[in-house]
Structure 1
Amino acid sequence: MESVSRRDVSRRAVLRGAGGAAALLAGGAVASAGAGSAVAAPAWSTLQQRMSGQVLVQGATGYTAVAHGYNPRFDTVWPSAVARCVSTADVSAAVAFARSNALPFTIRSGGHALTGWSTGTGLVIDTTLISAMTVDPATATATVGAGARLIDVYQKVASAGLALPGGTCGSVGIAGLALGGGIGALTRPWGLTCDQLTGATIVFADASVKQVSASHWPGLFWALRGGGGGSFGVVTSLTFRLRPAPTFQVWSMPYDMSAAPAVVAGYQTFMATADSRLHGELSFRATPSTGKTSLTVTGTWIGSAAALTAQLDALVAAIGVRPNARTVSSQGYLAAMLQEAECSSYASCHLPPQGTIPRVPSAGASTMVYAPLSPAAVTTLVDRVRAGLAVPKATWTGCTVVALGGAVRSTTTADSAFGHRDARLMLHYLARWSPSTPTLDPTPFDGYVRGFRAAMAPFCGTGAYVNYLDISIADHGAAYWPGTYARLRTVKATVDPGNLFRFPQSVRP
């Protein structure tokens, strides 16, 4: 069987191909208007007069560079205009303009939505430039503009000797990541990104600006902690609680695919009760061009290398099969986050022209797993991984199995809208194809990831992670927010009763 490096098979590569985080929705709200997507030129000049940032219409200099989000499969969608907001006041002006003109609009921060809902044919309200960050070491807090990229947040807090639990895609926007949850290397030790949120600035449907926290608009604050982006307003800044940056032990153990059933079974049993300082995941990949599949167990540990040795010995014993190799490296917080993001340096960990992260067309889906995978479920999972070899024109397909638990269960649904507190695992399915053919018919790739999800549903149910939006999910409220959707709808009815902020899978009043 194929033996490849951790870099080749890791979830970081999966997330990069998926558009992160992913995903990772930063908005996707669509105005309730029935007007067409085109707006007369004088109207655009009116909006420009009300903004400090630029309004770029089709044909304007600079428009093409900002017209699209991360995933090039949606590059055939061209907005009528992009409002490049540089402040909360700009966002307020853009929301008021869209509402008064009955204009369809979308909200974009990182632009990584797997469904393409962070772009549209009307107005795109782009918060990318609202990216200023301040860190207060005395209070161990950071206030971050909604457009800041995750890797920039990591660099900023690390420079103060502090850390924030986040995701694994460096180019994803912090707003979309945090509002939907935020799963990464520090999730089991410290909790989700949304669990660290202590306050936010948000533009309401009437264009007013509110400061939201546990004491001001507490219901909305609850909703913003895991309720997803784009349903309640436009978040323009977020304040997070930080902790002293730990030292990481980053580890990897590749296995032959023949051992996959034993690896899945042993991994899920061990991680169910493992020390919460241990983060671990299984990374499967199938490469049609080579006809090969691969499996690597990867993760991090915040503690000593000696203590990690005992943990990994116990994990291998639970699996019952020795890996092909074991590598461990000790790294600081920023270095570990760069490796998690598959970046060789901070400078490279950005989209072009600033960095070298490629825009890769992809399809994705997910499943949240609450009960141990049965032998039949494990067999189905491994079979579906191998089925990825038959997806025509895919550069690779994959599945990542991520252990949850630990600190995720320390915050309840009474404190946060994230509905999957008791999930044991998250399964993330992905198919990607060549950037040279971004507009290739996505049907086979969508079919693969959705087929994977459907195949696992009889064993796992229909729960899904909102940051991996999946348009094929019919009852999205129950899938993304089990046990919290009814309360989310109540909050929605309070702050946006007219349903101005909406998209196909938003919270409905």
Structure 2
Amino acid sequence: MLSRRAFLRAAGVGVAATAVSCSGSGQQGGASSPTTTSTPIAPTSVRPAAVPPDFDGLRKRLGGGLLQASDKGYDQARRSFNPAYDQRTPAAVALCTTSDHVQACVALARNSYLPIAARSGGHSYAGYSAPDGGLIVDLRGMSAVDVRPDGTAVIGAGARLIDVYTALAAAGRCLPAGSCPTVGIAGLTLGGGLGVLTRKYGLTCDHLLSAQVITADSVVRTATPNNEQDLYWALRGGGGGNFGIATSFTFSTEPAPSVTVFQLGFTDGAAAVVGAWQEWTAKVPDELWSTVVVTGGRTPTARLTGCFIGPQSGLTPLLDQFTAAAGKPGSRLVQQKSYLDAMRFFAGCAQRAECGTETSPRATFAASSRILSEPVTDPAALVDLLDDRTDMDLLLDSLGGAVSRVDSAATAFPHRKALGTIQVYQKTTVDKREEAARSVAQVRDALGRIGARGGYVNYIEAAMPDWGTAYYGPNLSRLDSVARRYDPDAVFSFAQSIHRA
């Protein structure tokens, strides 16, 4: 199966597949319906002394679902999507299937001062879902997708996107979300949730009706517009791992549309493609979403990929407008697909029966991001950043449309008025990852100098300068207040947790 980037870089498409972005921290999961509360957590002036973690007791609470280094299956269970983090050795991996299990994990971490992180997809770009010496709360066993007659969907936070799409499509519904098939719904949603239907239907988090979250006091809280309102606000774009461990989500959904997918390949003139795209994407109807991928090398090349909600006849004049400005493409693919087939196309598995964890290869990479708050004035300068940078892509994904019609302060996601996002993605190997990270940082900083600043938290990067402001903008102060209210003792602290910003 082709990965997202492999597909977007491919010279020929045929009817293979593409993917848009493996966005999502990969942290979170599961569902149940225990008692909820609205009582805030009282700050502790003096935190009790740590006690040694009782892993034997936790194993009993989990019905045996705890793996440590000496246990069979531990080595596989501790791994993330990115092999660059395979050297991480967590103290234990908890295989949770109920909210009670998650509560027990949080209590142990709180009392033992043990690092803790939830994991659903394991796609955290900085590897934060695999804390060295800590406790991984693996929620992939909590992955049910229940589509109700009224069109709402209750989804366990360990569900992977391809399974979400399959279940929704069977009920004739859709949810705007990412494209990488093994990304967890939780990490994606908590960071905002970009995807190929974003311009028409908004971010994933814009469809969040409620979420169940285990906070630092091991209490299950239900966050809705009318209950735990600050927590509900923060969960929509405030990033995974900051406020507790989400166990389930309830989303509104949309009727599943027919989708026309397209890809245009350009062997030269990458700067003209970027320039034309910036002007074009700001004017097209909400039904059209697109991404430009600039691939590095001796002569960088560009490719336009996207989808149109509607028939091919509605897309054709829009593509004609683009090529009139960008030039004639060397290759062109336009295909009408069902909603599920379109999601499989973008997931890179259009021609495969299976599209899940077992059939999806892992990928070693370094990555960062920037925000296109407005068009860059010199597209050639952007393209030139990839001169002689092999195995590096810049992925320019369009925003606007429904995303822009929500106020920037209405949810924690701050980039509502931006033209798009830029992901800097460097394919590498484990032994060359540090070199790749330096190259990514060079391009990230250069993008900032030509006007693309900020960043998208679901492409989180450990070395991002001024990361709190970059990811959360003017919403950082309120997010910090929410984090301190629900986790006053920083139980969920990690290198880029909001509590530490």
1:265 aligned to 250, 269, 275, which one? 275
Distance 2:400 2:241 in 1: 27
4+ residue stretches of structure 1 with deviation over 6 A?
7-11, 32-36
Q: Which amino acid aligns with 2:455?
A: A
Which residue type is aligned with residue 388 of structure 1? Answer: R
Which residue, out of 26, 49, 55, partners 1:44?
55
1: distance between equivalents of 2:79 and 2:47? 22
The yes-or-no answer on 1:77 pairing with 2:77 is no
- Tell me by how many angstroms 1:345 deviates: 5.0
Structure 1 residue 114: Cα displacement: 1.0
1:456–1:498 Cα change, 3 Å: same
What's the CA shift for 1:181? 1.1
Alpha carbons of structure 1 residues 385 and 237: separation in structure 2 relative to 1, 3 Å:
same
Q: Is the 8 A contact 2:28 2:158 kept in 1?
A: no
For the residue of structure 2 that corresponds to 1:488, the secondary structure is: helix
CA contact under 8 A between 1:351 and 1:359: conserved in structure 2?
no
Deviation at 1:386, TM superposition (A): 2.3
- Give the corresponding residue for 1:191: 202
The TM-score normalised by the length of structure 2 is: 0.90
Report deviation, 1:126. 1.2
Confirm whether residue 280 of structure 1 aligns to residue 290 of structure 2.
yes
**Which of residues 96, 99, 113 in structure 2 aligns to 1:102?**
113
Which residue, 377, 384, 399 being the options, matches 2:394?
399
- Give the residue type in structure 1 aligned to 2:135: L
Q: How does 1:205-354 map to 2 (within 5 A)?
A: 205-257=216-268, 259-286=269-296, 293-319=300-326, 321-344=327-350, 347-352=353-358
Helix, strand or coil at the partner of 1:484 = helix
Cα offset for 1:370?
A: 0.9
What amino acid maps onto 1:342 in structure 2?
G
| Contact residue 414 and residue 474 of structure 2 kept, 8 A | yes
- Offset of residue 351 of structure 1: 2.1
Whole-Å Cα distance in 1 between the matches of residues 350 and 393 of structure 2? 23
Matching residue of 1:366: 369
For normalisation by structure 1, the TM-score amounts to 0.89
Do 2:27 and 2:117's aligned partners in 1 also have CA atoms closer than 8 Å?
A: no
CA separation of 1:100 and 1:7: change in aligned 2, threshold 3 A: farther
Aligned residue number for residue 381 of structure 2: 380
- Indicate how the Cα distance of structure 1 residues 328 and 8 shifts in structure 2: closer, same or farther if over 3 A, else same: closer
1:499 partner SS: coil
- CA displacement at 1:331 relative to structure 2: 0.3
SS at match of 1:58: coil
Q: Of 461, 464, 475, which residue of structure 2 is paired with 1:470?
A: 461
Question: Which runs of 5 or more residues in structure 1 are unaligned?
Answer: 390-395
Equivalent-residue separation in structure 1 for 2:15 and 2:427 (angstroms): 14
1:100 to partner: Cα distance: 1.5
* Cα root mean square deviation, aligned: 2.4
In structure 1, give the amino acid aligned to 2:80: G
Q: Deviations over 1:404-451 (max 9, x none)?
A: 111111221332110000110211111113xxxx53131221112111
- Give deviations 1:51-75, integer Å, cap 9, x for gaps: 2460111111221220111111110
Q: Distance in 2 between matches of 1:333 and 1:190?
A: 14
- Which among 58, 68, 73 is matched to residue 62 of structure 1? 73
Could you tell me whether the CA contact under 8 Å between 2:370 and 2:423 is conserved in 1?
Answer: yes
One-letter code aligned to 1:272: A
CA 463–27 in structure 1, closer or farther in 2 if over 3 Å, else same: farther
- 1:494 alignment counterpart: 485
Gaps of 5+ in 2: 1-8, 30-45
What CA distance in whole angstroms lies between the structure 1 residues aligned with 2:145 and 2:17? 30
Counterpart position of 1:393: none
Distance 2:418 2:140 in 1: 32
Match of 1:123 in 2: 135
Shift of 1:206: 0.5
User: Post-superposition shift, 1:6?
Assistant: 4.2
Residues 212, 221 of structure 1: 8 Å contact kept: yes
Distance across 1 between alignment mates of 2:275 and 2:290: 14
Greater shift in the superposed pair: 147-156 or 410-419 = 410-419
**Change in CA separation of 1:133 and 1:465 when aligned onto 2, cut-off 3 Å:** same
